Chains A and B, each alone.
Chain A
Amino acid sequence: MKGGKLIKVALEVEGDVIKSAKICGDFFLYPEEAIEQIEQSLKGARLNSDFEQILIEAVERSGAQLLGFSIGDLAAALRLASQSGLG
C-alpha cells in the first residue's frame, strides 16, 4: 500500500463468526495499545460484515491515529482474510 507498509491479518473463525483477530505488520498506530481495542472490536463480527464501519468506530473510540496505512487498507486486508476462510 501507499508508503510501502504491510498489514497481515489472521482470523480465528467459527462458522461465519470471527472468534479472534490478530493484526500484524510494519505500520504505525498511535497509541500502540489501541491495536488491541481494534482487534477486540472484530470479535463476534460476521465474515460478511462491513469491516470499514466497525474499524471507523473502533478507531474513533480508541482515539487512535494511523500512519502508513488507512482504515480502508485494513478493511481490505480483513475482507481478503475472511474470503480465504481462515486468514
Chain B
Amino acid sequence: MAGMTWRFLDTGEGDAYWNMALDEAILTLRIEDKVPATLRIYTWKPSAVSIGYFQSLEDEVDLEACKALGVDVVRRITGGGAVYHECGGELTYSFVASEEELKAKRFFKDIQGSYQVICEALVEGLRKLGVNAEFKPVNDIVVNGKKISGNAQTRRRGVILQHGTILLKTDIHTMFKVLKVSKEKVSDKAIKAVEDRVTTIYREVSTNITLDDIKEALRRGFAEYFNVEIRASTPTQAEIDLASEYRKRFASWDWIAKR
C-alpha cells in the first residue's frame, strides 16, 4: 500500500467509543498494510471527555457532572491531556501513516519531529482558512500564542496514529463542570483566563465558515504539505468490523477506569 494515494475519510458524527475504536482499527489495518495512509475527520455525538492513556479518571473527570449533562467519557490509547469534545464545538482529525512513508515525504528524526511534521500539515490546512496557526512543541497548535488544537500520538510496529482536536467554539462553563482540573475556579476570572489562553476557528475567522470548508482545507493542507494525492473514500468493511470489536473495549469500565 506504500506509495499509493492516501485516503480521506469524513466519518461524521460518532459516539466516543466508536470514534476511538475506528482510529485504532485504521491503525491496525495500516500495520497489516490493508489500508493506505489515512486522514480522517470526525465529530462527537454526544459530547464527550477523552482522557489520555496515562491519566487518572478520578483526578481528571467529574463523573457525576458528565452523567447529569449526558457527556460520555472515554480513555484514549494515546497519552496527553483531557479534552472536552463538545458536540458542534470542535472537530477531531486522525492521521495514520507508517513512519517510513511519512519520512519519505517529510523527513523527521525523532518522535517530536513526527509531531512537528503532522502538525505542520494541519497548520497548512488552517492557514487556508485564514487562521494564522503555528506548531508549538510538544503537541499544540497555537494562534498568536493561544491554543487552537491539541494533538496526541501513539506508535505501533512502525505505524503512527496521531489524532487531535480543533476548536470551533468553546463552552468553557460546561468544560469546567466535566473536567476536574479547573474545578475550584468556576469564577469569572478563571473563565477569562482560559479564554485568554485558548482560541477557536470561529473566533479567528468567522462563524459563517462551514464544516465542509474546514474539512476540505485540512485535506488540501495535508495533500500539499506531504505532496501526495489524498482522495475521499469510506471506511472498508474490515475497518468497520474491527472497530465494532474494539468499541466494546473502549466502552468497558475496565478500560475507562484503568488508571
Contacts and interface: CB of A to CB of B under 8 A. Distances in A.
Interface of A: 3-5, 8, 22-32, 35, 65, 67-68
B50 to A, nearest CB: 12
A32 B77 contact: yes
Given A8-B56, A24-B55, A24-B59, A30 B154 contact: yes
A72 B202 CA distance: 41
B139 A28 contact: yes
B46 interface: no
User: Which of B54, B77, B78, B137 gathers the greatest number of chain A CB atoms within 10 Å?
Assistant: B54
User: Which of B115, B138, B259 gathers the greatest number of chain A CB atoms within 10 Å?
Assistant: B138
Nearest to B82: A26
Category for how many chain B residues contact A:
20 to 34
A26 B81 contact: yes
B155 A24 contact: no
Contact of A22 (B152, B154, B259): B259
Contacts, number: 58
Interface of B: 52-56, 59, 77-82, 111-112, 115, 137-139, 152-156, 259
Contacts of A27: 54, 79
Contacts of B54: 23-27, 29, 32, 35
B112 A67 contact: yes
A68 B112 CA distance: 9
Question: Lowest 10 A-B CB distances belong to which pairs?
Answer: A26-B81, A28-B79, A24-B56, A3-B138, A68-B138, A32-B53, A26-B52, A67-B111, A26-B80, A30-B155
Contact of A32 (B59, B112, B154): B154
A26 B153 CA distance: 12
Nearest to B154: A32
A31 B137 contact: no
A54 to B, nearest CB: 19
17 contacts: A8-B56, A24-B54, A24-B56, A24-B59, A25-B54, A28-B79, A28-B80, A28-B111, A29-B54, A30-B155, A31-B154, A31-B156, A32-B53, A32-B78, A65-B111, A67-B112, A68-B79
